[in-house]
Structure formats: structure tokens, C-alpha cells
Amino acid sequence: MKGYEPRSSSSCAACKLLKRRCIPNCIFAPYFRSDECKKFAKVHKVFGASNVSKILIEVPEEQREDTVNSLAYEAEARLRDPVYGCIGAIALLQRKMVELQHDLAIAKDRLARCHAAAAAATTTIPSPDILHANVSLPPFPDFCTSSSDFNDIFCHSSSSQLLGRHETVDDFNQIPYIF
């Protein structure tokens, strides 16, 4: 493992938290150093030590560090937001991306109008009405504005109403936004 230093006689964070003797070939030792007790405590609280050890055994050794970092991030997100976890953060970022794409479309449209107005009249200054007239943009997506909208989408409709039985999601615009 990259950056791993042989440990001294101290136990890893997992063995400290689980109050057991740390063996030399402990699966947790390279990834949960003795000073990272909080990191392991969060992962243990969400996933359980037994499940984490099973995951680490199944993952190739060169991918274990990334796996532990992912588990730690997911555990942190799940403890912060028990309902949505890291999916809530992903949905928030997707919504922000759509808003920024919409803003970019507005800016591109205004820039095109400025160039067109400058080309049409080299000596006259375009009026502000030209910059804002006839703006044709894609419609801004509707987001759930209240928790009742969210509950209507996810709690009162079956998944077969949102997507067909064997239909796959290849466009993330088909997935309803959480926030």
C-alpha cells in the first residue's frame, strides 16, 4: 500500500475501538491508523466491522485504500443525513449543475444578441430592449418545492409509474430531484 509505514506496537484504530489485540496481519491496520479512531468509529457505526472486513477481503489490495476512503465518505454523509446519505449530496450537485447550465444558456443568448446588434449597427448603440427581447431558452426544470411534492413522487407512486418495468435510466434527467 502506498504511504503505509510498518507500525510499532500500537494497535490500529479498529482494534482499539473493538477492544481487541491487533494482530500483525490485521486487515484494518493499513487503512485505519491508530490516530484515526473517529474515522473507523463512523465507518463501524454505519457499516459494521464485520461487513467492512468482508468488503476489504473481496477488494483487490491496490483498490483497498480507495475503498476505505469511499466507505469513510459514505459513512460521514449517512451520519450527517440519515435519510439520503451521499445521494442527497449528489442530487444537490445535479440540481446546481442544471441551474448553472440554464444560466450559461442565458449568457450565451445575450452574448449572441450583443454580437448581432453590433454587426447590424456599427455606429448605433443597441437599446436594452434588444438584449432582453425574444429570449428563447430551454424551460427551467421544475423541482420539488415542498416535502409533500417529494412524498407524492416517492411514497405514493410505484417505481413502475416512474420508469417502465425493464427500462433503464441512461439519462439522469429522468430521475426526480430530491431537493
pLDDT band at 169 (very low <50, low <70, confident <90, very high): very low
Dump pLDDT digits (tens) for 104-126.
Answer: 999 999 999 998 888 887 755 55
For residue 78, the Cα-to-chain-centroid distance in whole angstroms is 12
Best-predicted range by mean pLDDT (25-39, 145-159, 161-175) = 25-39
**130 phi/psi in degrees, rounded to 5:** -65, -35
Q: What DSSP string runs through the chain?
A: -TT-----SSPPHHHHHHT-PPPTT-SSTTTS-TT-HHHHHHHHHHH-HHHHHHHHHHS-GGGHHHHHHHHHHHHHHHHH-TTTTHHHHHHHHHHHHHHHHHHHHHHHHHHHHHHHHHHH-SSSPPPHHHHHTT---PPPPP---SHHHHHHHHTSS-HHHHS-TT----SGGGSPP--
What local confidence, expressed as pLDDT, does residue 118 receive? 84
Is pTM, for the whole model, over 0.85? no
What local confidence, expressed as pLDDT, does residue 165 receive? 45
d(CA 44, CA 125) in angstroms, rounded, equals 66
What local confidence, expressed as pLDDT, does residue 45 receive? 94
91 contacts: CB under 8 Å, gap ≥ 6 = 84, 177, 178, 179
